[in-house]
Amino acid sequence: MHTHLDWHSPQSWLGKSPFHIATHGDAAAGALAAPPDPPDTSWIRFAAINNGFTLDQVFDPIWLPTLSALRDLNVNRLACMLLDDWFVPQLKKWGFDQINDVIVLSRPLRAAAFQTTSPLPKGLRLRPAKNSDLNAIFKVDAAFDAPWHYSKDTLMQAMSQVEFSSVAELQNEIVGYQISSGGKQGGHLARLAVNPKLQGRGVGRALMMNIAEHFDRLGAPHITVNTQCDNFASLKLYRAFGFRQTGEHYPVWQLEVGG
C-alpha cells in the first residue's frame, strides 16, 4: 500500500475523481486514487494491491480511466512521493520520471543558536496564526512552485491539525508563516513559507527562532523537517539552526499529464 504523506486520510478522497477500485468477483483487488488538489496538480494519494494479485492485474485496467479523468480535469502534472520502491516498476511503465528527492533533517534539543549579525526587518512581528489568516497565508504559500503548493482546503486542514502555528507580520501584512506538529515527544516543522519579495531578509530566520524556542521550551528531544534536496535556501537556513541530515530520503516522481 502507498499512502501519500497528506493532511487528508485516504478515505477522505472517496467520491472525488479520480479514485478507482479494481475488483475480482466480489473482492477488491486494489485501488488507485489521485484527485487533484490544487486544481492543476495531483498526487497519487493512495495505491493498494491485495494479496494474490500482480501490479499489472490491478493497475493496468484502472490507469487509462485515471489518466483520462485527470485530462478531463485539466490537470497538468501527476506526482508521487515514495516511502519504498514496490511501486517504482509501475511508475516507470506509465512514463513517470524521478524529479527530486525529499530528505529528512533533525535538530537535537537546544542545539546551538543561530549566529548572525544581520538584523531582522524593522517592525517584524510574530504572533499565533488564526483561522482568519487563511487567505493571507494562502497568498504567501504561492512561494512554493508546483507540485508543492497547497490549496486553501489543504491549508485549512493543516492548520486545524497542527500543534503550533505562527505568522510573521510586517506593516500589518502577513509575509511568512509556519505550521509545526508534534509536542514533548518531538516536533516536526511541516511547512514554512515567506513572501518571495522578502526572502533572504530574515523572515524565515525569525520563524525558525520561534519554532526552536517553542519546542525547546517543551523539552522536545528533537525537531524534524523534510525538504527537497535541491532547495538550497531552505537547507542553508535549517543547517544554521543545527539541523542535520538523518539519511532518510523519499524519491519524488512526476508525469506530465498533457492532452
Q: The domain that contains 59 carries what CATH number?
A: 3.40.630.30
Q: Is the pLDDT of residue 58 over 90?
A: yes
At residue 113, the pLDDT reads 65
Asked if 144 and 229 sit in the same domain, the reply is yes
Within a domain: 165: yes
Contacts of 157 by beta carbon, 8 Å cutoff, 6+ apart: 7, 8
Q: Is the pLDDT of residue 21 over 80?
A: yes
Asked if 79 and 25 sit in the same domain, the reply is yes
Asked if 154 and 248 sit in the same domain, the reply is yes
Within a domain: 87: yes
Q: Is the pLDDT of residue 115 over 70?
A: no
102 - beta bridge partners?
A: 228, 250
Q: Where are the alpha helices (DSSP H) in 145-241?
A: 152-161, 203-218, 232-240
Asked if 116 and 233 sit in the same domain, the reply is yes
Query: Can you give the pTM of this predicted structure?
Result: 0.90
Within a domain: 259: no
Contacts of 37 by beta carbon, 8 Å cutoff, 6+ apart: 43, 151, 153, 154
Percent helix, strand and coil across the chain, each to the nearest 5: 30, 35, 35
Q: Is the pLDDT of residue 136 over 90?
A: yes
Within a domain: 30: yes
Mean pLDDT for 6-11 is: 88
Q: Is the pLDDT of residue 147 over 60?
A: yes
Asked if 236 and 116 sit in the same domain, the reply is yes
At residue 70, the pLDDT reads 97
Q: What is the residue whose three cell numbers read 523534510? A: 226
Higher pLDDT among residues 44 and 83, named by residue: 44
Mean pLDDT for 195-206 is: 92
Q: Is the pLDDT of residue 109 over 80?
A: yes
Burial class of residue 43 in the structure, from the number of CB atoms within 10 Å of its CB (0-12 exposed, 13-18 middle, 19+ buried)? buried
Q: Where are the alpha helices (DSSP H) in 43-145?
A: 55-72, 88-93, 134-140
At residue 133, the pLDDT reads 97
Rounded percentage of the chain residues whose pLDDT exceeds 70? 98
Within a domain: 258: no
At residue 112, the pLDDT reads 73
Asked if 58 and 120 sit in the same domain, the reply is no
In the chain, the number of structural domains is 2
Look up residue 49 and give its three cell numbers.
494491491
Closest CA to 193 of 235, 250, 138: 138
Asked if 88 and 166 sit in the same domain, the reply is no
Mean pLDDT for 231-256 is: 94
Asked if 158 and 53 sit in the same domain, the reply is no
The answer to whether residues 180 and 189 touch, using CB atoms and an 8 Å cutoff, is yes
Last residue of a domain, one of 51, 71, 95: 95
Q: Which domain holds residue 51?
A: 2-95
Asked if 75 and 198 sit in the same domain, the reply is no
**pLDDT band with cut points at 50, 70 and 90 for residue 167:** very high
Asked if 115 and 224 sit in the same domain, the reply is yes
Mean pLDDT for 106-112 is: 87
User: Among 113-117, 119-123, 142-146, where is mean pLDDT lowest?
Assistant: 113-117
Asked if 39 and 133 sit in the same domain, the reply is no
